[in-house]
Structure 1
């Protein structure tokens, strides 16, 4: 049976601010919803599960990001993920212009963890601390010619 990645879901502190960050980087909002009820409790494993969510998509149509903000139960704040921690790590995007993307991120108060690096003369990239502490990798392919 083939398998297909549908989306990556991320719980966020402020849904609107996080949508603004990712749409400014070039993703589009496919839809929004508010979900709760017995089916949501069963699927997620939390009694009284109630979230506001938005589904975003990359311009090529291949990548989807589900962002959700808890209404109930209360969201649990955690320390921002470190690059060497086990578990969900980061979300990565290819961009046409890394400098432009970093300027957009900075307008949202989101900055590289350390700076811009070059990987084997193939990519210029940076890890950015995004909204709700999400690590976002932005990578620009270096073309010869």
Structure 2
């Protein structure tokens, strides 16, 4: 798989014992975000597809602490060597990853399984309702042409 330029993942480590577990998510010395803007939390129900959108000014960092997701990225950047490349990541409880999504890369996810999904995400800018940095594309946008259907194998 060709990874979209600027996309970074960080595998998380769980420290388990008989009481439960502890995991560091994001540290200031990880150097994953150019700067910190905002942290947010969202919940989605099973089967929901939240796609696609992209940003012109901010980078996102996604983490799914509860549930599992199929995450789809599509590089829209005109000057990127990976323009037109699609990446798919399976993330969540069974595969704890941090995913950095650069500005100009369309992104979305589908909730997998029969339980709700929680996403925690960090951005390099705070949300500004007077001038939101969010451009939307349909979940089935023809230029991306992604098939969200799970095939039985």
TM-score range, shorter chain: under 0.3
More helix by share: 1
Normalized per residue, the structure richer in strand is: 2
Structure index of larger Rg: 1
Q: Which has the higher contact order (CA 8 A, sep 6+)?
A: 2
Per the normalisation by structure 1, the TM-score is: 0.25
